[in-house]
């Protein structure tokens, strides 16, 4: 059983608010990822990290930012939420070495609705 | 640009039927192909395939990869209602920006198993 957690699970928030989506894993994985998934659509990588103080943008442009100060924690922040940010956000981690990704363990996701 | 195409997009079968899900891909510097099952929220890992022609098997599920023809299939025999889910195919390939590899996901096949 993978130990990766996301909070909140559901969030409804007004336009312009700042929000932080939390993601934590207890497996000691160096690699962590944030995906965005709209209903019926594929997962799109928006951010990833290969370890502490390492963050990169993924292949889907996103106005969110991330930080990686601790191995186990990879929060995602939206400074000013907009309705276009409404989506499901999935956090994942993997333990493969070097550049490889390997099997990813996913958190339960955060369903974000911006009104 | 890396691309993963899954077919069919959706499928309804009766319990006891056998189903075959398809995944074709185009990716730079292929490393592996992964299958995930997504029920409700978080995808859960099923298989990782790296070599052509070697079948991976777990209970009623099996999968095989053809690196020459660039596709994989996922078979489920004697389907049960608990198999109802979205089955995601993802391919790991090399990316240039920031270095390292990433997963490119297909849109998934929605499988519904009825009594």
CATH of the domain at B107: 2.60.40.10
Which is more confidently placed, A49 or B99? Answer: A49
Residue B97 with chain A: CB contacts under 8 Å: 56-57
Mean pLDDT, chain B, integer? 92
Q: What is the pLDDT of residues B47-57, one digit of tens each?
A: 999 988 889 99
> Per-residue b/e over A37-63, b at no fewer than 16 CB within 10 Å?
beeeebbbbbbbbbeeeebbbbeeebe
For chains A and B, count residue pairs whose Cβ atoms are closer than 8 Å. 67
> Chain B residues with CB inside 8 Å of A8's CB?
none
Is-contact B23 B71, C-beta < 8 A? yes
Please tell me the predicted confidence (pLDDT) of residue B41.
75
CATH, range A4-114: 2.60.40.10
Could you report the per-residue pLDDT of A39-75, keeping only the tens digit for each?
888 899 999 998 899 898 887 778 899 999 999 999 9
Q: Which residues pair with B92 in a beta bridge?
A: B32, B103
Query: Are residues A92 and A32 in contact, defined by beta-carbon separation less than 8 angstroms?
Result: yes
Could you tell me which of A28, A16, A18, A4 has the C-alpha nearest to residue A76? A18
Q: Scanning every residue of chain A, which has its alpha carbon at the shortest distance from the alpha carbon of B5?
A: A42
pLDDT of residue B81: 96
**CA angle at residue A27 from A25 to A30, to 5 degrees?**
80
Report the domain count for chain B.
1
């Amino acid at each position: 059983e993978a130990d990766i957690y996301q909070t909140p699970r559901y969030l409804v928030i007004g336009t312009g608010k700042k929000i932080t989506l939390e993601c934590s894993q207890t497996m000691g994985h160096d690699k962590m990822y944030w995906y965005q998934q709209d209903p019926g659509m594929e997962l799109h990588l928006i951010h990833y990290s290969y370890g502490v103080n390492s963050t990169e943008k993924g292949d889907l442009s996103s106005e969110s930012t991330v930080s990686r100060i601790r191995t186990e924690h990879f929060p995602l922040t939206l400074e000013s939420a907009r309705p276009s940010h409404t989506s499901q956000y999935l956090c994942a981690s993997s333990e493969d070495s070097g550049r490889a990704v390997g099997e990813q363990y996913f958190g339960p996701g955060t369903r974000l609705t911006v009104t | 640009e890396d691309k993963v195409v899954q077919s069919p997009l959706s499928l309804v079968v009766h319990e006891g039927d056998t189903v075959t899900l398809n995944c074709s891909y185009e990716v730079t510097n292929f490393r592996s192909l992964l299958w995930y099952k997504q029920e409700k929220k978080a995808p859960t890992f099923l298989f990782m395939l790296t070599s052509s022609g070697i079948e991976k098997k777990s209970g009623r599920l099996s999968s095989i990869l053809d690196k020459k023809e660039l596709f994989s299939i996922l078979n489920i025999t004697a389907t049960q209602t608990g198999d109802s889910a979205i089955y995601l195919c993802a391919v790991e390939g090399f990316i240039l920006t920031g270095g390292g590899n990433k997963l490119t996901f297909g849109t998934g096949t929605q499988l519904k198993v009825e009594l």
